Amino acid sequence: MLEQQLINALSLGSVYALFALGFTLVFGVLGVINLSHGAIFMLGSYAALLLIEHFALPLWLAMLAAMLVSGLIGLAVDCLVLRPLRARNAPHLAPMIATIGVATILTSLAQGLFGAENKRFPVGTIPEESYNWGNLHVTAVQIGIVVISFILMLVLLAVMRRTQLGRALRAIAESPKAAYLLGINVEGLFYLTSFAAAALGGAAGVLVGLSFNAITPFMGQPMLHKGIAVIILGGMGDIRGAMIAGLFLGFAEVLTVAYISSDFRDAVGFGLLFLILLVKPSGMFGKVLERKA
Amino acid sequence: MQFKTLLKTLPLLMLAAGLGSAAHAADVKLGLAAALTGPAAKYGVAIKNGFTLAADEVNAAGGVNGNKLQLIIEDEQGKKEEAINVFKKLIFKDKALLVFGPTLSNSAFAADPIANAAKVVAFGTSNTADGITAMGPFTFRNSVMEADVLPVTTRAAVKHFGIKKVAIIYGNDDAFTKSGYDVFKGTLADQKVPVTTTEAYAKGDVDFKAQLTKIKASNPDAIVCSCLTEEAANIILQTRALGMKQPFIGGNGLNSPKLFDIAKGAGDDTIMGSPWSPENLTPANKAFIAAYKAKFGSDPDQFAAQAYDALHVVADALKKIKLSGAIDKDRIALQQALPSVTIEGATGKFAFRKAPAVTGKEVGYDAQQEAIVNIAKGGKFILLK
Beta bridge partners of B169: B199, B225
Residue A18 amino acid letter: L
Beta bridge partners of B100: B32, B123
What is the DSSP code string of B4-55? HHHHHHHHHHHHHHHHHHHHH--PEEEEEEE--SSTTHHHHHHHHHHHHHHH
pLDDT digits (tens, 9 = 90+) for A144-201: 989 999 999 999 999 999 999 999 999 998 888 899 998 999 999 999 999 999 999 9
Which residues in chain B have their CB less than 8 angstroms from residue A9's CB?
Answer: 210
Rounded to 10°, the helix A2-30/A140-162 angle is 30
pLDDT band, residue A289 (cuts 50/70/90): very low
The number of beta carbons lying within 10 Å of the beta carbon of residue A116 is 16
What residue in A sits closest to B239 (Cα-Cα)?
A137
pLDDT for B306: 96
B271-274 and B372-377: which strand pairing? antiparallel
pLDDT for A245: 93
Residue B136 amino acid letter: G
SS3 string of B95-113? Answer: CCCEEECCCCHHHHHHHHH
pLDDT digits (tens, 9 = 90+) for A74-91: 999 999 999 999 999 888
Q: Rounded to whole angstroms, how far apart are CA atoms B323 and B325?
A: 6
* Cis check: omega of the bond before B102, within 30 degrees of 0: yes
Q: Is residue B182 predicted with pLDDT exceeding 90?
A: yes
Q: How high is the mean pLDDT of chain A?
A: 90
Contact B209 A12 (CB under 8 A): yes
The A-side interface with B (CB below 8 A) comprises: 1, 4-5, 8-9, 11-12, 116-118, 120, 123, 130, 132, 135, 137, 139, 208, 211-214, 218-219, 221-222, 253-254, 257-258, 261-263, 265-266
Q: Rounded to whole angstroms, how far apart are CA atoms B29 and B100?
A: 11
Q: How high is the mean pLDDT of chain B?
A: 90
- Please say whether the beta carbons of B267 and B237 come within 8 A: no
Q: How many residues does chain A have?
A: 293
pLDDT band, residue B21 (cuts 50/70/90): very low
- Averaged pLDDT for residues B197-211: 91
Q: Is residue B229 predicted with pLDDT exceeding 90?
A: no
Q: Which segments of chain B belong to CATH 3.40.50.2300?
A: 28-143+280-369, 147-274
Contact A258 B214 (CB under 8 A): yes
What is the DSSP code string of B255-309? -STHHHHHHGGGGTT-EEEES--TT---HHHHHHHHHHHHHHSS---HHHHHHHH
Q: Is residue B13 predicted with pLDDT exceeding 70?
A: no
Which residues in chain B have their CB less than 8 angstroms from residue A214's CB?
Answer: 206, 230, 234
Class of domain B28-143+280-369: alpha beta
pLDDT digits (tens, 9 = 90+) for B32-63: 999 998 778 878 999 999 999 999 999 999 99
- Averaged pLDDT for residues A219-238: 90
Residue B104 amino acid letter: L
DSSP state of B91: I
What residue in B sits closest to A252 (Cα-Cα)?
B210
Rounded to 10°, the helix A164-174/A186-212 angle is 100
Q: What percent of chain A has pLDDT over 70?
A: 97
pLDDT for A285: 73
Which residues in chain B have their CB less than 8 angstroms from residue A112's CB?
Answer: none
User: How far B233 CA lies from chain A's nearest CA (Å)?
Assistant: 9
Q: Is residue B285 predicted with pLDDT exceeding 60?
A: yes
pTM summary value: 0.80
DSSP, collapsed to helix, strand or coil, labels residue B236 as helix
Q: Is residue B24 predicted with pLDDT exceeding 60?
A: no
If we measure between CA atoms, which residue out of A210, A24, A222, A221 comes closest to residue A110?
A221
Contact A257 B206 (CB under 8 A): no
Of residues A209 and B257, more confidence is placed in A209
User: How far A199 CA lies from chain B's nearest CA (Å)?
Assistant: 22
B147-274, superfamily in CATH? Response regulator (3.40.50.2300)
* Nearest residue, CB atoms, A8 vs list B199, B202, B210: B210
